[in-house]
Structure 1
Amino acid sequence: MKSTTIKTSNPSYEEFLYSLQDPEVPAPALSPKRFGVALQIDMQTLAEQAHVHRNTLRRAPTTASVQRHLRESIKAIKAAYAISGDLNKALLWYRNDGIEAFEFKTAEELVSEGRTEDLLDYLMSLQAGFVG
């Protein structure tokens, strides 16, 4: 009987970021599709979070509103990665961990609500040891 080993990949933040670049777009744009795959978010949910029609993700992925949402999400993930040093933990936290200081909303929900700066301030205070 052959044993199977589950191999987990934990790329660096930089590898993760560059994996999100859309090769089909000449500008340095983030790919909504690649972001969705990386975070296991379907395109309808991602469109709702970015406050755009789902067709916008496919037809106009470089629009300001789509790219803004992706960049804000990446900022939160990068801040979480800076604290944990583990990309998989940062991604899990971003999508699933309700934050008590924000009425148990997740970072993903806060970014969708336009509260990225509040979230980043909170994470910086955690990193400095002021709250938590």
Structure 2
Amino acid sequence: MTASPAAEAPQASGKNYDHFVESLRDLDMPGPALSPKRFSQALNIDLQTLADQAHVHRNTISRAPTSQGVQRFLREALRVIKASTDISGDVNRTLFWYRNEPLSPFGYKTAEQLVSEGRTEDVLRYIASIEAGAAG
């Protein structure tokens, strides 16, 4: 198996969620903002795809990465990634799940697609139901 660029990037290394979130910080950006560039590297998607998912113009990602629309999408994605990582204990496994696992209760859409559609709360309820089932 050959390593993808995301596997080599510091954003995707390590299994710890806190390390992952810390890797999304860009000290060159003003304020406490998440880096869209680092997020896209971690998920191995291009910036155009990220812009499409966030429903912003592609130039917004590079010219206004701290814009409300971009940051809101990144925070919503992180909510789902955190909830799933709390169950799996492995951020790399979660990133794979987030991007690739078709979820039958949602017409076999992925968590990534659902977050892009603004359905973060639905995905979080789904994750909570899985956690409740595992605990019960």
- TM-score relative to the length of structure 1: 0.90
- Of residues 94, 97, 114 in structure 2, which corresponds to 1:93? 97
Question: Partners in 1 of 2:30 and 2:50 — Cα distance?
Answer: 23
Question: Partners in 1 of 2:24 and 2:79 — Cα distance?
Answer: 14
- Of residues 115, 120, 124 in structure 1, which corresponds to 2:124? 120
Shift of 1:48: 0.3
The answer for unaligned runs of 5 or more in structure 1 is: 1-5
Instruction: Name the aligned partner's letter for residue 67 of structure 2.
Output: T
Instruction: Name the aligned partner's letter for residue 34 of structure 1.
Output: R
- TM-score relative to the length of structure 2: 0.87
Partner of 2:60: 56
Partner of 1:3: none
Instruction: Name the aligned partner's letter for residue 57 of structure 1.
Output: I
Q: Match of 2:85, SS?
A: helix
Please tell me the root mean square deviation across aligned C-alpha atoms, in Å: 1.7
Instruction: Name the aligned partner's letter for residue 65 of structure 2.
Output: P
How many residues in Structure 1 have an aligned counterpart in Structure 2? 125
- Of residues 10, 31, 36 in structure 2, which corresponds to 1:32? 36
Shift of 1:10: 2.8
Question: Partners in 1 of 2:73 and 2:115 — Cα distance?
Answer: 8
Partner of 2:24: 20
More helix by share: 2
Cα deviation code 1:64-89 (max 9, x no counterpart) = 00000000001111111011111111
Shift of 1:25: 1.4
- Of residues 110, 115, 129 in structure 2, which corresponds to 1:111? 115
Q: Match of 2:102, SS?
A: coil
**8 Å CA contact 2:54, 2:70 repeated in 1:** yes
Question: Partners in 2 of 1:65 and 1:120 — Cα distance?
Answer: 20
Share of identical aligned residues, percent?
Answer: 58
Instruction: Name the aligned partner's letter for residue 93 of structure 2.
Output: K
Shift of 1:11: 3.1
- Of residues 60, 73, 94 in structure 1, which corresponds to 2:77? 73
Question: Partners in 2 of 1:113 and 1:26 — Cα distance?
Answer: 28
Question: Partners in 2 of 1:63 and 1:93 — Cα distance?
Answer: 27
